């Protein structure tokens, strides 16, 4: 989808307001973006939010710092579940032809 689809569904001023709030992000061809997001939240919880923080400002500061460091390190997702694995585990969804 692109921003143009919003103009097809909404009035121009509403579409523009929505576009100002949205950021389109590349979704990898292989692997679920939702799974990647869940993995990142898990890492965030273990590395940054694994202790009590006194207030929301501290949480925001800690998370922001963690995100900056994580992005600087260019962490990648290492997909280990191959198509062959999927054919075995999900064989009812992958019929043999």
DSSP assignment letter at 36: H
Q: What number of other Cβ atoms are within 10 A of residue 92's Cβ? A: 6
Residue-level pLDDT at 3: 86
Q: How would you write the pLDDT of the chain (97 residues) with one tens digit per residue? A: 678 899 999 999 999 999 999 988 765 555 677 777 888 899 999 999 999 999 999 999 999 999 999 888 887 777 777 778 777 877 776 666 6
Residue-level pLDDT at 28: 57
CB 94 within 8 A of CB 85: no
Residue-level pLDDT at 88: 80
DSSP assignment letter at 73: T
Residue-level pLDDT at 87: 77
């Amino acid at each position: 989808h692109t921003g143009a689809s919003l103009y097809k569904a909404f009035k121009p001023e509403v579409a523009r307001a929505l576009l100002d709030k949205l950021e389109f992000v590349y979704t990898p061809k292989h692997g679920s973006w939702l799974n990647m997001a869940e993995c990142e939240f898990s890492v965030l919880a273990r590395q940054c939010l694994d202790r009590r923080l006194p207030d929301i400002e501290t949480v925001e500061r800690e998370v922001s710092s963690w995100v900056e460091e994580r992005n600087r390190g260019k962490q990648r997702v290492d997909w280990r579940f191959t198509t062959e694995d999927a054919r075995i585990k999900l064989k009812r969804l992958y019929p043999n032809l």
